[in-house]
Homo-oligomer: A and B are copies of this chain.
Amino acid sequence: VIVYINGTFCTEDTAHVAVTDRGLTLGDGVFDTLLAVDGVPRDARAHFERLHRHAAVIGLTADTALFAALADRLLQENGFTAGRHAVRTTLTRGPGSRGLALPDPAAPTIIMRAAPVPPAPGPARVVIARTVRRNEGSPLSQIKALGYGDNIAAWREARDAGADDALLLNNAGNLACATASNVFVKIGDAWLTPPLADGAMDGVTRAHVLRDGFAREATVTAKDVERADELLLTNSINGRRAAFILNAGGR
């Protein structure tokens, strides 16, 4: 597998980052994952404009046009011209000395990897996570930041319960997201999805679904989730995926 790192394409086993990289030491960075079909990135512009926007939240910049060109080239270099592939772009603040003080000037690290992904899976069996909440009070919950510890904790809880995924509530007890997806719930005739301020990540597919007029933003309580008629998980790799809850009282 060929990866891109800081200006060069190289084989994955020779692609390394410094042990001082703040992406590694502090989770100080953002990333994007997009789907390529038959060698063509879907919504590349929306993805890399979002990456630029999310990078700005933590004080970094991302070159939208450069990243789009790199994604194309990465797929070519790997011969990924047929089928489904995920392209992940990671942008960190780069090497730093100890402590939180920002390196000045920063020399950000850019990594891009591609990997085959299976066809979109069938419906997801999900649990409502009981051991971890999403941080609605952090601007990082609205962006694709590197620190996925809470989501991984929820994922482990789902796995231990024999489920495919977990839904995360925020500290106010309202729905935020799943471990790697946005969530839409159908209540009566309305499809609703949590606003970013409730701790929802600003997903590209989520934005599409909202723009389509299919759904609207509204705070979704835990009770709403349990009584929802239908649930939908969205992300760029699996699109729209039906879900049903294993651990709700009445279901």
Q: Which residues on A are within 8 Å of B, measured CB to CB? A: 3, 5, 12-13, 15-21, 23-28, 31, 33, 58-59, 86, 88, 90, 92, 97-102, 111, 113, 115, 117, 131-140, 145-153, 155-156, 159, 170-172, 179-180
Contact = CB atoms under 8 A, between A and B. Distances in A.
Contacts of A150: 135, 138, 140, 147
21 contacts: A5-B19, A17-B21, A19-B90, A19-B111, A19-B113, A26-B146, A26-B148, A26-B152, A27-B148, A28-B149, A28-B152, A100-B155, A101-B159, A102-B156, A102-B159, A132-B140, A133-B136, A134-B135, A135-B137, A138-B153, A147-B149
A19 B19 contact: no
A146 B152 CA distance: 13
A111 B210 CA distance: 44
A120 to B, nearest CB: 14
B132 A137 contact: yes
Contacts of A18: 12-13, 15-16
Contacts of A101: 155, 159
A148 B148 contact: no
A115 B117 CA distance: 42
Q: Is the interface of A mostly helix, strand, loop or mixed?
A: mixed
A145 B147 CA distance: 9
A149 B30 CA distance: 10
Contacts of A170: 137, 171
A148 to B, nearest CB: 4
Given A24-B146, A135-B137, A147-B148, 7 more contacts: A15-B19, A20-B113, A24-B24, A86-B98, A100-B148, A134-B137, A171-B172
A248 B97 CA distance: 31
Contact of A171 (B25, B135, B139): B135
A204 to B, nearest CB: 17
Contacts of A149: 26-28, 58, 138, 140, 145-147
B58 A152 contact: yes
Nearest to A131: B139
Contacts of A171: 135-137, 170-172
